[in-house]
Amino acid sequence: MSADLLHASAEAIGRSVVAKERSAAEVAEFFLGRASRTAERLGTYLHRDPERTLDAARAVDRRIAAGETLSPLAGVPVALKDNLCTRGVPTTCGSRILEGYRPPYDAHVVERLREAGAVSTGKTNCDEFAMGSSTENSGYFPTRNPWDLDRVPGGSSGGSAATVAAREAPLALGSDTGGSVRQPAAFCGVVGLKPTYGAVSRYGLVAFASSLDQIGPFARNARDTALLFNAISGRDARDSTSRAEAKPVMLDEVERGAGGLRIGLPRDLIGEGLDPEIGAALDRVARSLEGAGARVLDVSLPHAKYSIATYYLIAPAEASSNLARYDGVRYGIRKPGRDLIDMYGATRGAGFGREVRRRILLGTYALSAGYYDAYYLRAMKVRTLIRKDFSDALARCDAILLPTTPTPAFRLGEKVDDPLAMYLNDIFSIPASLAGVPALSFPAGFSKSALPIGLQLVGRPFEEATLLRIARAWESIEDVTDRVPPLVEDGARA
């Protein structure tokens, strides 16, 4: 049974729970057991409450016993990134400024998952307020890559990606603003989806950059990703930016194969600096999809090379405003001060880490009088150019195939002292965020040093199904979803 659960897809687990072949409580116990052996070493969780998880699982079992029809995710454990509000459960966003904070309400996606019968395994570690690409910016501790404990899992949703890779949970939710779901998915060898902006309600997602943030699923394969996406997507009246166009991904659509699809390769974006193994993986995947009946063509994204500069003006600007509410007045920590302004400074100085403070300064600067036009406004205009590049390219193909990251996972501490070097890692993930289009990272194999390699698909708005279909087609050619991180497996036997 435990071997089954170790390798079972979320879909299979859900089906077996609904068929009463196993109880939700058994499933929860299994995954809680795994996490109890690995979570501390990996640093995947900021908060776990095994009793609460089991209670939730038992509640699902009661609903099934009562004859209630539940979703495909019934009894399936899902980890939640710690920037998702969970009522009565600590939500710190990886920051000291919210140490001990328990929201009095649940995020929309948390409500949806509970309704669906999914079971939360806890709150996963992340870069502070989702700002970072390695989870080293967490105010608490770093998360380690399950494939190599000296390497980063990626960020900002490092904990969520790692917990799925390490099989502490079959599914997880993260958030993606400039790549924070896709990049850790690539580093950890799992599937990570950034939905179309507006497809998933942001109500209850602690805001980093409001015009870019999206909650996204992690899973080990395309079908599971679709199921989790379906469980959380759709219009929510509490989020004015959430869209009615979001529709569920049908599994039979995901199974349609790559035949007849046009896949674009943006050669002008893929230049030097790309790890040759990732370049090779890209070619291999492109050829395999061609073999499966897809047509591969060149597309151009001429302004995509300005994405990082654009993003690192827009995102910090919005963040500087979104983080103004952390002032020690109504929640979170408060450091004493002579007067109010003193209190603000002391609280925010103590509560925010270096990266967050850097971005608040950068963002405030970009919005300040005399600089707004040259920085923020200009960046918003370049964003329009980038959006147009994507809609032009996606008129000629059904999906764009490109790397997720320039390199596989780097070492802990390697880039933490050079913020700009860290930012430059996002060159492939940021463009789709700026355009608001859906983007998916899927496992494409392993490097010679046994590190996962992920590749990315970008599609038209609300066409997540197409991306998952291509990823599934690749899975049926070369299945890399079943390898278990060896280090973790060793640990698990102890």
- Site residues for another protein, window 208-267 (CB under 8 A)? 209-211, 237-241, 243
Closer to another protein by Cβ: residue 307 or 447? 307
Does 163 bind another protein (CB under 8 A)? Our answer is: no
Interface with another protein by CB under 8 A: which range of 137-145, 165-173, 247-255, 381-389?
A: 381-389
149 lines the binding site for another protein (CB under 8 A): no
CB of 68 or CB of 342, closer to another protein: 342
- Determine if 345 is a binding residue for another protein (CB under 8 A): yes
The piece of 104-112, 147-155, 165-173, 471-479 that touches another protein (CB under 8 A) is 104-112
- Phi first, then psi: give them for residue 298, nearest 5 degrees: -85, 140
Give me the least distance between CB of 56 and another protein, in Å please: 20
| Bridge partners, residue 80, by sequence | 123, 173
Residue 99 sits in the site that holds another protein (CB under 8 A): no
Comparing CB distances to another protein, the nearer of 202 and 472 is: 202
CA 221 vs CA 213, 255, 297, 381: distances in Å: 23, 12, 26, 37
Number of residues that bind another protein (CB under 8 A): 95
The piece of 143-151, 181-189, 200-208, 248-256 that touches another protein (CB under 8 A) is 200-208
Which residues make beta-bridge pairs with 233?
200
Asked whether position 384 contacts another protein by CB under 8 A, the answer is yes
CB of 352 within 8 A of CB of 337? no
For residue 325, state whether it binds another protein (rule: CB under 8 A).
yes
> Which positions are annotated as active-site residues?
81, 156, 180
In contact, 80 and 173? CB cutoff 8 Å: yes
Nearer to another protein, 290 or 418 (CB): 418
Least distance to another protein from the beta carbon of 177, Å?
12
Q: Which of 170, 179, 204, 234 binds another protein (CB under 8 A)?
A: 204
CA-based angle 70:441:306, to the nearest 5?
130
Of residues 400 through 439, those in contact with another protein by CB under 8 A are: 419-420, 423, 435-436
Q: What is the CA radius of gyration of the chain?
A: 21
419/445 with CB nearer another protein: 419
Residue number, 284 or 335, with CB nearest to another protein: 335
Instruction: Candidates 378, 446, 484, 491: give the one binding another protein (CB under 8 A).
Output: 378
Neighbours of 3 (CB within 10 A): 7
Specify the stretch interacting with another protein by CB under 8 A; choose among 55-63, 135-143, 280-288, 307-315: 307-315
Q: Shortest CA distance to 377 belongs to which of 388, 389, 387, 368?
A: 368
**14: number of Cβ within 10 Å:** 27
Indicate whether 364 belongs to the interface with another protein (CB under 8 A). yes
Shortest gap between Cβ of 389 and another protein (angstroms)? Answer: 12
Regarding 302 and contact with another protein (CB under 8 A), the answer is no
* Residue with Cβ nearer another protein (66 or 237): 237
Which of these ranges, 9-17, 147-155, 161-169, 348-356, lies near another protein under the rule CB under 8 A?
Answer: 348-356
**Contact flag: residue 320 with another protein (CB under 8 A):** yes
Which of these ranges, 19-27, 50-58, 63-71, 311-319, lies near another protein under the rule CB under 8 A? 311-319
- Residue from 144, 303, 460, 472 touching another protein (CB under 8 A): that is 303
* Residue 78 vs 360, nearer CB to another protein: 360
Q: State which of residues 58, 334, 414, 483 lies at the interface with another protein (CB under 8 A).
A: 334
Residues 117-136 close enough to bind another protein by CB under 8 A: none
Residue 66 binding another protein, by CB under 8 A:
no
Find the binding residues for another protein in span 2-61 (CB under 8 A): none
Tell me how long the chain is.
494
